[in-house]
Each structure stands twice: as C-alpha cells, then as structure tokens.
C-alpha cells in the first residue's frame, strides 16, 4: 500500500486549482485533454538551480509543443515573485503559486534532506494518467530532457 499523498506512475493526476503569475486560477483538468502535461515542482524562483531548470524548459519549449505537451512550473513563491521570475527569464509557460504547499503535498513531492522543497517532474498524458516521474535536486537540466524523452516514447507507441 502506498503512502497517502503520493502520486505514482499509472495513477490519475490529482486535480487542483492554483493561481498563475497573472493571478488567474489554473485548473489541472483544464490543461489536459487534447495535450499531455509536464508538471514540474521546483524549490524557489531566482535561485541558481531553479533558474537553470526554467531556462532548460524554455529552451525546449518548441520541442514540447511538437510532441503535444504543455509545461507548467509550480513552487510556493507568490504570484508577484512568479511574475518577476517569468519576465526576467522570458518564460512562455505558466508558473503556479502553491503558497501553502498543498499541491506539493498532494503529489507527494519529497523534501531534500528533510528541509528543502523537493524538485520533481511529472509527465501526465492527455487522459490524465501519470506516465513518468523524475526527481532530482541536483540534475536540474535533466528534468526537461527526461520529460521530452518520455513524451517522444509515448508519441511513438501505438
């Protein structure tokens, strides 16, 4: 039996509503359906690792679009912090504000060293099924490559 509050590969992605960097509510189930979704949780706007990770997702944005997927980032930072971070980095995908870490806990994103918010990426297919989870606090640019590889395999599987 898996622990409560932990999403595994093969599970339906739990629905949630969080504000994006414009303050507009975004609902998970509205993001999936026709497209897959790459949902990545990261610790904090503007830190070196999180900046590298966001830039990696942005550099691959066209490839994500080609394989039929959207990218969405989530952290506990405020809407205003996300707005500044997205503008500074030229991000063309939404960043969602999970101020109380409720969605992070819902998905079971583990803390690093028991203290720091974890870094995890979930690839969710168009039906809402979690197809891959990649978790690494230090391999920040590998998150986008891993997600793209999973999506390419899904696209090529009949």
| DSSP per position, 84-98 | HHHHHHT--S-EEE-
Q: How far apart are CA 117 and CA 120, in angstroms?
A: 10
**Does 50 participate in catalysis according to the annotation?**
yes
* Axis crossing angle, helix 142-156 with helix 48-59, rounded to the nearest 10: 30
Structure tokens at 110: 């583990």
Task: Select which of 50, 54, 124, 133 is catalytic.
Answer: 50
Alpha-carbon separation of residue 31 from 13, 16, 27, 126, 139 (angstroms): 12, 11, 7, 9, 26
Rounded to 10 degrees, what is the CA torsion of 51, 134, 98, 5? -160
| Residues belonging to the active site | 50
């Amino acid at each position: 039996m898996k622990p409560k509050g932990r999403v595994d590969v093969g599970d339906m992605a739990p629905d949630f509503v969080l504000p994006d960097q414009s303050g507009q509510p975004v609902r998970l189930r509205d993001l999936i359906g026709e497209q897959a979704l790459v949902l990545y949780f990261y610790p904090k706007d503007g830190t070196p690792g999180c900046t590298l990770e966001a830039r990696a997702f942005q550099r691959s944005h066209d490839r994500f679009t080609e394989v039929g997927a959207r990218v969405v980032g989530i952290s506990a930072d405020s809407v205003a912090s996300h707005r500044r971070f997205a503008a500074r980095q030229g991000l063309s995908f939404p960043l969602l504000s999970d101020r109380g870490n409720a969605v992070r806990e819902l998905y079971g994103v583990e803390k690093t060293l028991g203290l720091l918010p974890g870094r995890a990426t979930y690839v969710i297919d168009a039906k809402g099924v979690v197809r891959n989870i990649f978790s690494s606090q230090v391999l920040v640019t590998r998150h986008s490559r891993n997600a793209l590889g999973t999506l390419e395999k899904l696209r090529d599987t009949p």
